[in-house]
Structure 1
Amino acid sequence: MFKKLVQYVMVGLLAIAPVGGLLSAQTTKVAAASTPVSLPTTPQIDASAAIALDPATGQVLYEQNADQALPIASMTKMITAYIVLAQIKQGKLTWEQTVKPDDLIYQLSQNKDLTNVPLQADGQYTVKALFQAMMVASANDAAMMLANQVAGSQKDFVDLMRQKVADWGIQDAQLYSVSGLNNEFLGAEVYPDSPADAENEMSAADVALVAQKLLADYPEILETTKQAHFTFGAQTSDETAMSTWNLMLPGENNAPQDYVVDGLKTGTTDKAGDCFTGTATKDGQRILTVVMHANGEDTGRRFIETNKLMQYVFDGWEQKQLAQANQSLAPYKTATVKYGRQKTVQLITNKAISMWVPKGTTAANIDWHYQAVKGGAKRQLEAPIKKNVQIGQVMPQLNGVTTQYIGQAPQSQLRTKTADPKANLFVLIGEGIKEFFTNLF
């Protein structure tokens, strides 16, 4: 017994050493909040797939068959646009550079059954004009010219597209063309060894992730996509007035009355049907939606279904701040400190925490999920503990709702607001003796 007592006294002495202990990270959850959240009535979207989310965080607010890969048509051009904008940012491409169509692209531009801009066989067109034509008028020939300028060939640009979506964690994309056209229209430019009728496919969730990346990294894209009309080749022999396919823009046939749509990309093929990736703002809050293969007889069916989805989010949900920066959270106000003078330290958030919640949600509807970085699930630290040390991460969760995110779910840090040095030698020895007798009995 004396030997064991000495061991516990030595525990107290060893606690004087400057290095504290670390426990493996664990995840814990507070007891469920007392009141389940009341969800708004879910709309029925007449389409093969649909999704709505907060583009800032990736929080999913609605989903319908969002994981099935389906044809995406000209929504493909968002990937093309991302790569072009990256090239411009890196200085490898400029807006003023001119591009000449090759023979295949020129021939394609003469096909009146496809969406193109009129080109001259020996014409020279700026990157800016082609980009505008691609994103506003959905010009396939413009997308192909940009791809050739960036990568040298359609095949090599598709390889860049495949690598980019893989970098974003998209695993099931099938990409064959830079524009979204079916292989039957591409002649000698079809991707090597691809099926004769191959067409780009992705899930609604993956299309939303592409749009989220585009908005996050190049928000200036909206300066282009909010344009309803523009002139291609102004003051040249190719001067052509062109209009958007996005009929939800202000002033267009399907423009909503109580929120503003300013992007992003339509898509239509026989396989894909009528598709639309849209983004809109109301009261300073932005949402992102994807509707794939909208059904119905109305020619504006993709916009009708998109409006149902956007109206559902804006009417029933709101972005709400749940905690301020440097605030204590009720379940996680303190952590215990072994061998410390004060025995505890106060914990605070490192930043303000917000999420989209159904209107009428209160603090009673919120659970807080915690993941330890230091101290394990019980948040027991070992002195000395400094001020402003991260000990874990927290994330809000709606009671009764499985909150989903595309991409990485956002997390906020819990950090120490106060410090706690080690207790003096005699206190540590006393704690060792106390621990001995506690474990003995």
Structure 2
Amino acid sequence: MKREMKKWVAVLLVPLLLLMSLGSAPAHAESTLGIHVDGAILIDAESGKILYEENADTPLGIASMTKMMTEYLLFEAIEEGTITWDQEYKVNEYTYIVSQDRALSNVPLRRDGTYTIRELYEALAIYSANAATIAIAETIAGTETEFIKMMDAKAQELGLEDYKFVNSTGLNNANLHGMHPQGTGPKDENVMPAKSVAKLAYRLLKDYPEVLETTSIKTKKFREGTTDEIKMDNWNFMLPGFVYEYEGVDGLKTGTTEFAGHCFTGTAQRDGKRVIAVVMKAVDAKGVGSYKARFDATRALFDYGFSQFSEVEFVPAGYQFEDQKTVDVIKGKEKTASIAVKEPIRMLVKTSEKDLYVPELVLDESKLKDGTLQAPVKKDTVVGHVKLVKTEGTDYGYIDSDNPGSEVVVTDTVEKAGWFSLMMSAIGDFFAGVWKSATGFVKGLFN
């Protein structure tokens, strides 16, 4: 009887103990870097080399990190001359109503007011002002609905994956007071994986590095000296002088919504090295999201990048591969053309793994026919690129999957041979072929 009783007690206690142990586990498992995020990535801002990633391919809410795409399209429009910094925007009902919602990040806009693109951009980049962002989108595309089409097209051009844009700001459409862009749902929100967010930031810094001149501003007054004056404190609390300051931080974009959680795309530069980090839905060890959680996670990524990685020059300019220093040339004054690496290849790699990378020559078959060039061949003609191959261990690759490394080019011009030389060469080739056939025939007689 006692034995039977013990058996039933065990049957009842085991499930209970299991439930208790599950309940005590943290909501988010700790990663190898000790961060609690739904997605994260760290890259070298110069080469695009991925230094670390964690669930970086899963689409997640991006909140106001969306504004990096709006910034990219703004700088592009300025560059192309379709709009100017001094151009003025006249407030409409949509931007007025959104701007008055102080539960959102905003600078209040007057119903009858006009504002320059520059001051709207500063409000966007420093204060993440949402109505100012919509105003910029409308200036560029006419309507926010049309601007979303531009966002989609640019995302495709940049090679972003698994993205969805429903507005220019990153807000949940429910916050747009029923005036969300046509074709989108009333509760839709922008999504993108960490890898695509990092690629967007990478291209923004590559193509328009001047964005850092504004994202590094800690505090600025909007409409200073007027009755509309409002202090704009940057939401990037990792900037120097702020509560979570980190040496070298000068950008880039925070993001927070209930759906996306606490997100951040940060960039920092130290000793000539610049990295970009993305954290998505950051929480603490208890699973609670906060500003501190996202900046703590970013700090861990930055520390890892700056302490464990160093810039290494793997291939100098003018480097030639021992097993292929030339390519064959037909119809040229020379039979071959020397080839070499055009620019040096430098990138951040884990210091302890720098000896594991080996440069490999990859010839471009579209430029060569059967491995041969046809004269005339100009100096600096691209014939291939260098690929760095890691001989062992995990290699995350590049944020830009098409990044080929440094180009391999022809080092000297090879001019086309004159008609007489070509004729004599053809005759020589003909008799060489005849002789080869004849000797082959004679050998066949005695076999």
Shorter-chain TM-score tier: 0.7 to 0.9
What is the CA distance between 1:68 and its match in structure 2?
A: 1.1
1:269 match: 257
1:5 match: none
Matches of 2:96 and 2:212, distance apart in 1: 29
Cα RMSD (Å):
3.1
Matches of 1:98 and 1:304, distance apart in 2: 40
Alignment of 1:361-372 (within 5 A): 361-362=353-354, 365-372=357-364
1:14 match: none
Q: 1:289 aligns with which of 277, 299, 304?
A: 277
Q: 1:396 aligns with which of 372, 378, 388?
A: 388
Alignment of 1:70-89 (within 5 A): 70-89=60-79
Q: 1:240 aligns with which of 230, 233, 238?
A: 230
1:353 match: 345
1:307 match: 299
Matches of 2:161 and 2:342, distance apart in 1: 34
Q: 2:198 aligns with which of 198, 205, 208?
A: 208
Q: 1:167 aligns with which of 140, 153, 157?
A: 157
Alpha-carbon displacement from aligned partner over 1:191-217 (angstroms, at most 9, x marks no partner): 224222100111111111221221122
Work out whether residues 314 and 359 of structure 2, in 8 Å CA contact, stay in contact via their aligned partners in 1. no
Give structure 2 stretches of 5+ with no counterpart: 1-30
Alignment of 1:43-122 (within 5 A): 43-122=33-112
What is the CA distance between 1:385 and its match in structure 2?
A: 8.3
2:406 match: 412
Please tell me the residue identity of whatever aligns with 1:412.
S
Work out whether residues 340 and 410 of structure 2, in 8 Å CA contact, stay in contact via their aligned partners in 1. yes
- Identify which of structures 1 and 2 has the higher relative contact order when contacts are C-alpha pairs closer than 8 Å and 6+ apart: 1
Work out whether residues 143 and 179 of structure 1, in 8 Å CA contact, stay in contact via their aligned partners in 2. yes
Cα distance, 1:360–1:438 mapped onto 2, change above 3 Å: farther
Percent identical pairs in the alignment equals: 34
Matches of 1:136 and 1:151, distance apart in 2: 23
Matches of 1:192 and 1:237, distance apart in 2: 35
Alpha-carbon displacement from aligned partner over 1:396-430 (angstroms, at most 9, x marks no partner): 22222435223321333333446698897697577
TM norm structure 2: 0.79
1:23 match: none
What is the CA distance between 1:393 and its match in structure 2?
A: 2.5
Work out whether residues 51 and 204 of structure 1, in 8 Å CA contact, stay in contact via their aligned partners in 2. yes
Greater helix proportion: 2
Matches of 1:289 and 1:134, distance apart in 2: 20
Cα distance, 1:342–1:145 mapped onto 2, change above 3 Å: closer
Cα distance, 1:327–1:122 mapped onto 2, change above 3 Å: same
Matches of 2:111 and 2:62, distance apart in 1: 30
Please tell me the residue identity of whatever aligns with 1:322.
F
Cα distance, 1:163–1:390 mapped onto 2, change above 3 Å: closer
What is the CA distance between 1:357 and its match in structure 2?
A: 1.9
Matches of 2:375 and 2:208, distance apart in 1: 45
Q: 1:182 aligns with which of 172, 185, 202?
A: 172
Alpha-carbon displacement from aligned partner over 1:301-349 (angstroms, at most 9, x marks no partner): 1111011111111111122221222221344334567999997654321
TM norm structure 1: 0.80
Work out whether residues 107 and 123 of structure 2, in 8 Å CA contact, stay in contact via their aligned partners in 1. yes
Alpha-carbon displacement from aligned partner over 1:192-248 (angstroms, at most 9, x marks no partner): 242221001111111112212211221111000000100001111111111011011
Please tell me the residue identity of whatever aligns with 1:357.
V
Cα distance, 1:113–1:367 mapped onto 2, change above 3 Å: same
What is the CA distance between 1:359 and its match in structure 2?
A: 1.2
Work out whether residues 182 and 198 of structure 1, in 8 Å CA contact, stay in contact via their aligned partners in 2. yes
Please tell me the residue identity of whatever aligns with 1:194.
T
Matches of 2:146 and 2:154, distance apart in 1: 12
Matches of 1:343 and 1:316, distance apart in 2: 48
1:325 match: 317
Matches of 2:313 and 2:156, distance apart in 1: 33
Alignment of 1:32-47 (within 5 A): 43-47=33-37
Corresponding residue pairs, total: 397
Matches of 2:374 and 2:88, distance apart in 1: 65
Give structure 1 stretches of 5+ with no counterpart: 1-40
Matches of 1:329 and 1:176, distance apart in 2: 50
1:130 match: 120
Matches of 1:112 and 1:364, distance apart in 2: 54
Query: Which of 1 and 2 has greater Rg?
Result: 2
